[in-house]
Amino acid sequence: MIDFVKIAKDAKDASLKIADLSTELKNTALLKIADEIELNKEEIFEANKTDLEAAKSLVESGELTKSTFNRLKLDENKMRDMIQGIRDIAKLEDPVNKKLLVRELDSDLTLYKVSCPIGVLGIIFEARPDVIAQISSLAIKSANAVILKGGKESINTNKKILSIINSALEKIEGFPKNVIQQVFTRDDVAEMLKCDKYINLIIPRGGNKLVKFIKENTKIPVLGHADGICHIFVDESADLDMAIKVVTDAKTQYPSACNSVETLLIHEKFPKIDNLLATLQLSEIQLIDKPESWSHEYGDKILSFKTLKNVDEAIEHINTFGSGHTDSIITKNIENAEKFMNKVDSAGVYFNASTRFADGFRYGFGAEVGISTNKTHARGPVGLEGLTIYKYKLVGNGNIVKDYVDGTKHFNHKDLKNA
| Per-position DSSP letters for 305-340, written without gaps between them | EEEESSHHHHHHHHHHH--SSEEEEE-S-HHHHHHH
Spatial distance between the Cα atoms of 252 and 223, rounded to a whole number of angstroms: 28
In degrees and rounded to multiples of 5, residue 16 shows phi and psi of -75, -30
Instruction: Pick the more confident residue, 72 or 23.
Output: 23
C-beta of residue 311 within 8 angstroms of C-beta of residue 339 = yes
Ramachandran bin of 212, using left for φ above 0, alpha for ψ from -120 to 50, beta for the remaining angles:
alpha
Identity at 65, one-letter amino acid code: T
Which pLDDT belongs to residue 360? 87
Q: Give the pLDDT mean for 323-333.
A: 97
Spatial distance between the Cα atoms of 305 and 301, rounded to a whole number of angstroms: 13
Cα distance from N-terminal residue to C-terminal residue, the chain = 52
Domains and CATH numbers, the chain: 4-96+119-224 (3.40.605.10), 230-357 (3.40.309.10)
C-beta of residue 344 within 8 angstroms of C-beta of residue 327 = yes
pLDDT tens-digit series, residues 365-405: 877 888 899 888 899 999 999 999 999 999 999 999 999 99
- pTM for the model: 0.87
Spatial distance between the Cα atoms of 383 and 363, rounded to a whole number of angstroms: 9
Q: In 76-154, where does DSSP find H-type helix?
A: 76-91, 130-141
The share of the chain scoring above pLDDT 70, in percent, equals 99
Identity at 334, one-letter amino acid code: I
In degrees and rounded to multiples of 5, residue 163 shows phi and psi of -60, -40
Contacts of 101 (CB under 8 A, 6+ apart): 111, 112, 113, 415
Q: What residues form DSSP beta bridges with 328?
A: 232, 350
Check pLDDT > 80 for residue 127.
Answer: no
Which contacts qualify for 289-296: CB closer than 8 Å, 24 or more apart? 294/263, 294/320, 294/321, 295/227, 295/229, 295/321, 295/322, 295/323, 296/229, 296/262
Residue 139 pLDDT grade (very low, low, confident, very high; cuts 50, 70, 90): very high
Q: Lowest-confidence range among 119-128, 281-290, 297-306?
A: 119-128
Cβ atoms within 10 Å, residue 236: 17
Cβ atoms within 10 Å, residue 210: 18
For 147-167, letters b (16+ CB in 10 Å) and e give bbbbbebbbbbbbbbbbbbbe
Identity at 127, one-letter amino acid code: A
In degrees and rounded to multiples of 5, residue 54 shows phi and psi of -70, -35
Instruction: For residue 267, give the 3-state DSSP assignment.
Output: strand
Residue 256 pLDDT grade (very low, low, confident, very high; cuts 50, 70, 90): confident
Q: Give the pLDDT mean for 90-112.
A: 96
Check pLDDT > 90 for residue 418.
Answer: no
Cβ atoms within 10 Å, residue 112: 18
Which pLDDT belongs to residue 3? 93
The CA–CA distances, whole Å, from 355 to 203, 263, 344, 386 equal 22, 11, 14, 21
Q: Give the pLDDT mean for 226-237.
A: 94
Residue among 148, 347, 169 at smallest CA distance from 258: 347
Residue 419 pLDDT grade (very low, low, confident, very high; cuts 50, 70, 90): low
Which pLDDT belongs to residue 370? 85
Which pLDDT belongs to residue 66? 79
Residue among 77, 135, 108 at smallest CA distance from 410: 108
pLDDT tens-digit series, residues 40-67: 999 999 999 999 999 998 888 888 887 7
Cβ atoms within 10 Å, residue 225: 23
Residue among 255, 232, 398 at smallest CA distance from 329: 232
Q: Give the pLDDT mean for 134-145.
A: 96
Cβ atoms within 10 Å, residue 7: 20
Which pLDDT belongs to residue 100? 95
Spatial distance between the Cα atoms of 275 and 331, rounded to a whole number of angstroms: 17
Check pLDDT > 60 for residue 291.
Answer: yes
Length of the chain: 419
